[in-house]
Structure 1
Amino acid sequence: MRVAIFDFDGTLYPQETFKLMMNYMKKHPIHASKYQPFYRALMKPYLAYKMKLYPENKMKAKSMQLYLNALKDMPQQEVENYFKDMSKEMHNELNVTVVDRLKKHLIAGDHVLLVSGAFAPMLNEVTRDLAIHDVIGTQIPMSNGTIDTETAIYHIQGERKNEMIEQALQGLDIDWKNSSAYGDSISDITVLELVGNPVAVRPESRLQAIAEDRKWEILW
Structure 2
Amino acid sequence: MTLAIFDLDNTLLGGDSDQLWGDFFAEHANLDKVERVARGHKYYQDYVAGILDVDEFLKFTLEPLSMFPMDILKKWRDEFIESHIKEIVLPKAIDLVAEHRCNGDTLMIITATNSFLTQPISDLFHIPILLATQPEIKDGKFTGNYTGVPTMGIGKVTALHNWLTNSEETLEGSYFYSDSANDIPLLEEVAHPVAVDADKRLTKHAEEKGWKRISLR
Aligned to 2:81: 87
Tell whether the 8 Å contact from 1:177 to 1:197 is kept in structure 2 after alignment. Answer: no
For the structure 1 residues 175 and 188, does the alpha-carbon distance in structure 2 shift closer, same or farther, using more than 3 Å as the test? same
Question: What is the count of residue pairs matched by the alignment?
Answer: 211
- Structure 1 stretches (4+) deviating beyond 6 angstroms? none
Task: Compare 80-89 and 209-218 and name the one that shifted more.
Answer: 80-89
TM-score (norm. length: structure 1) = 0.83
Aligned to 2:71: 77
Mapping of residues 132-143 of structure 1, within 5 Å: 132-143=127-138
What is the CA distance between 1:6 and its match in structure 2? 0.4
For the structure 1 residues 72 and 121, does the alpha-carbon distance in structure 2 shift closer, same or farther, using more than 3 Å as the test? closer
| Partner secondary structure for residue 115 of structure 1 | strand
Aligned to 2:30: 32
Tell whether the 8 Å contact from 2:9 to 2:17 is kept in structure 1 after alignment. Answer: yes
Aligned to 1:167: 162
Return 5+ residue gaps in structure 1 as ranges: none
TM-score (norm. length: structure 2) = 0.84
Aligned to 2:119: 124
1:184 aligns to 2:179 (yes or no): yes
Tell whether the 8 Å contact from 2:3 to 2:105 is kept in structure 1 after alignment. Answer: yes
For the structure 1 residues 73 and 4, does the alpha-carbon distance in structure 2 shift closer, same or farther, using more than 3 Å as the test? same
Deviation by residue 1:5-25 (Cα, 9 ceiling, x = unmatched): 100111111212232023202
| Partner secondary structure for residue 176 of structure 1 | coil
Give 1:57's match in structure 2, choosing from 47, 52, 57.
52
Instruction: Give the superposed CA RMSD.
Output: 2.8
Aligned to 1:199: 194
Letter of the structure 1 residue corresponding to residue 20 of structure 2? L
Quick one: distance in 2 between partners of 1:175 and 1:73?
41
**Highest Rg: 1 or 2?**
1
For the structure 1 residues 27 and 171, does the alpha-carbon distance in structure 2 shift closer, same or farther, using more than 3 Å as the test? closer
For the structure 1 residues 140 and 80, does the alpha-carbon distance in structure 2 shift closer, same or farther, using more than 3 Å as the test? farther
1:113 aligns to 2:108 (yes or no): yes
Percent identity for Structure 1 against Structure 2: 20
